[in-house]
Chains A and B, each alone.
Chain A
Amino acid sequence: MDKKYSSMNFSRECMLMVNAIPYAVVLIDKSGSIIIWNRAAEIIIGYSADEILGKNFTDMIGRLISNDKAILASERFIDFITDKAGNESSFFTRGIVIRKDKLEFFADVSVSSVNIDGEWCAICIIRDISKQVESEFENIYLSNIVKSSNDAIIGMDLNQKIISWNQGAERIYGYSAFDILGKNMSVLVPHGRENEIESEIEKIKGGDSVPSFETERITKSNKTVNVLITLSPIKNKFDSIVGASVITTDITREKQMFNTMIRYISEAAMRLKTPAEMVRLNLSNIIEMVKSDGIDKENLILNLSIQMKNTEQIVHNLRELNQAIIGSYEEIPEDYIKYFKN
C-alpha cells in the first residue's frame, strides 16, 4: 500500500496478513474513509483497491447494496465510529451484494467496531456464500419435490430400517411417518416376498445397478397394492453406500385396467371373433345347400333363423362387453360413454 489514505499506519506484515484472508476485509475510519480493501475484496466485489481506497463509505455503499439498505447502513455507521462504540456495536447479516460488473451475489456480512490507536473504526468482513445458498436452495427445492411427490419416496439404511418417509408413502401405504420411522421395510412386504428387498440391497451394496421391478406391497390396512419399485444407493460424504432410496409408484389402477383390457380382448375374441367366423362358414354352407337343392324351405328357414339368432347374440355380446369396459374405466370421457352406450 504505497498511497496513504489515513493517518493510521499499518505495518507491511499486518497488510500481508489482511491480504491473505479469503474474505473481503474493508476497514473504514472515523471520517468514513475506506482505508483497507484487501485482495479478496478486489476479487469478490470487483473493484480494485486503487478505485476504492480513500473513497467515502457513504459514497460507495449505494453501489454495493440496494438503495434502501444503503440508507439504513449509512445511518447505522455512526454507531461504529463514536466513543459509544464497543462490543455491542457489531452485527451480522446475510444479503445481496452488487459487484462492479452489476452481478449480484449472496454474502454473509459482519460489521464490528474496532479501536485502532485510540480511534474507533468499522471493520466489515464479506463472505461470498453464493454456492452455499445455491446448494441450500437446491436442497430445499429437492426436499419439496420429495415431500410433495405422489410416489412414495422412502429412505432406508442397509439394515432395511426406514429412515425417511414422504407424503406419497403415507398415501400409498397408509402409515404416517410417526408410525413407520425406525421400523423395518419388511412390514410392507407380503408373505413370500421377504427376500426380495434383501437381494436388491445386496446388489446395491455390490455397486450393481438395480432395474425397476414390479411387485406387491402390503398397506397398513392389509390391502395388497401393485407397485413399481426403483432402488437407488444413498452415499455419505465419503462416497460410501449407507442405504437406499426406495421410490414406489402405485400401479394398482394400471394393473386393474390392463387386466380388464386383457379380459375384454379375450372375451371379445372368444365371444365375437370366432363365433362370427362360425356364422360366416355356416351361411356359406347354407348357400352351398341352396345351390345344390339340398335343403327344403322349412329347413332353410330353420338354418337361416339360427344364424340370425347367432348374429343377434354376437351384437348383444359386443354391447355387453362395451358396458363391462365402461364400468371398469372411470377415465372414459362422458361423451364417449354416451356414444358407446348407443
Chain B
Amino acid sequence: MADISSSIGENDLFLIFSGANNIKKENTALVSQLAKLNYKTIVVTSNQPYINLIRAYEENNIDTSNIYFVDLISRYALGKEPENKNPKKCRFISTPSNLTDTGIAITEMINLNNSSGETVVVFDSITTMLIYVSSDQISKFIHFLTNKFRLLQVKGIFLVVEGGLDPALEVRFTTFVDKIIR
C-alpha cells in the first residue's frame, strides 16, 4: 500500500497506481493515514458505494468524523438516494457522467467549515470513471480539479488501476500532479 505520510506535507497532488485487486484496500489504507494525520478527507467514489466505504473504515477503526463523501454511483444504481444517507457527510450525484454536478459537490464539501485541519480529496477512481466518461472528458475533468485544488490550497489523491491508462493519458496525468506512487 502507498505510504503518503512522509510525502503529503511536501506535495499537494498525488497519482497513485494500484493493482485492480488492491484498490479497495488502497483506499482504506490511504484514508486511515489521512485520519491519523488529522486531515479533513473528502472521498469522491465511483468505485464503491458510500455505505461500503463507511463500513470498511469503521471495521478498520478509522475515525470517520472528519471524512466526507461525494458518491457518484449509489443514486445512479438505485435510481434514488439511499435511505440511510447522512446529508451532512455525503453528496449523491445523479450519474457518474455528470461532471458538472460532481465538480460542484466537491467544491461544496471543500467549503464546509465544520472541520479543522487541511483538506485532502481522495478520488477513487479514474479507472471506474472511465466506464462512464471518455478519456478526453476525464482528462479535462482531472485537469480542472487539479487546478481548482491548487487554487483552494487543497491536496488531492487520484487513484488509478495499474495498466488502466494508455501511455498518452498516463503522461498527461503525470503532468497534473506533484508525485506519482506505484
| Contacts from A to B (Cβ < 8 Å) | 266-267, 269-271, 274-275, 277-278, 281-282, 285, 298-299, 301-303, 305-306, 308-310, 313-314, 317
Contacts and interface: CB of A to CB of B under 8 A. Distances in A.
B73 A309 contact: yes
Contact of B166 (A266, A281, A302, A306): A266
Contacts of B171: none
Contact of B161 (A274, A301, A310, A313): A274
A285 B22 CA distance: 12
B21 interface: yes
Contacts of B2: none
Contacts of B20: 274, 277-278, 281
For chain B, the bracket of interface size reads 20 to 34
B21 A281 contact: yes
Contacts of A305: 77-78
Interface string B14-38: 0000001101100000000000000
Contacts of A314: 131
Contact of B130 (A271, A281, A308): A271
A271 B166 contact: no
B51 A270 contact: no
What are the 5 tightest A-B residue pairs by CB atom distance, in nearest-first order? A266-B166, A305-B77, A274-B164, A306-B77, A275-B131
Given A266-B166, A274-B164, A278-B47, A310 B78 contact: no
A140 B9 CA distance: 79
B130 A275 contact: yes
Interface residues of A, dominant DSSP:
helix
A303 B127 contact: no
A299 B128 CA distance: 20
Nearest to B83: A298
B86 interface: no
B168 interface: yes
Given A266-B168, A309-B77, A285 B131 contact: no
Contact of A275 (B74, B128, B165): B128
B176 interface: no
A303 B45 CA distance: 13
B52 interface: yes
Contact of B128 (A267, A269, A310): A310
Interface string B149-168: 00000000000010111101
A313 B46 CA distance: 13
Interface in B129-146: 130-132, 134-135
B165 A270 contact: yes
B123 to A, nearest CB: 15
A18 B97 CA distance: 99
B82 A302 contact: yes
A309 to B, nearest CB: 5
Given A266-B166, A306-B73, 12 more contacts: A266-B135, A270-B166, A271-B131, A274-B130, A274-B161, A274-B163, A275-B130, A275-B131, A299-B49, A299-B51, A303-B49, A306-B49
Contacts of B131: 271, 275, 310, 313-314, 317
Contact of B134 (A267, A278, A282): A267
A313 B132 contact: yes
Nearest to A267: B135
Interface string B99-141: 0000000000000000000000000000110111011000000
Given A299-B51, A317-B131, A270 B78 contact: no
